[in-house]
Structure 1
Amino acid sequence: MQGINSLIEGKNVGQKRPKDSYFAVLKHETLSLYADEKMIECQGVITLSYYTVSLYPSYLPDNEVFLQDFPIRLKKK
């Protein structure tokens, strides 16, 4: 988890982002996925009404949820 946190915080610039992670934009019930933070070319779209969305890791205190970037978990309904 430490590698992901340092990637999110901009540390270790030479470190590559995991292949299965994306930059995302949420609009209504649609999550648009992009390969990089420039968000020029959409890589995919997920309709969230077909998924159960949870915070990952689930033990984060409420005050940390709004202070930092962190992964979310999508599980098909």
Structure 2
Amino acid sequence: MHDDASNALPQYVIDLRAWMSDWYDHAFKAGFVHPPFRLDESIAGRLEGYFKAGLTPAEGAIAFFGVVH
């Protein structure tokens, strides 16, 4: 029998995944990314930092792909 407890994720993880999905949608619409996009550990860490800082997904995409002055 399958254990459904392994499917239960903390709310933080659910929120972070939703934020990352919205981030990808915005980055794609803005032309920043093209499929296939590979989310590695380094990118995920940066995105989680933007999420923790309270940036919107659109702000996170701009921060991630923006030009550093």
Larger % of helix: which?
Answer: 2
- Greater length-normalized contact order (CA 8 Å, ≥ 6 residues apart): 2
**Quick check: which has more Rg, 1 or 2?**
2
Q: TM-score, normalised by structure 1?
A: 0.23
Larger % of strand: which?
Answer: 1
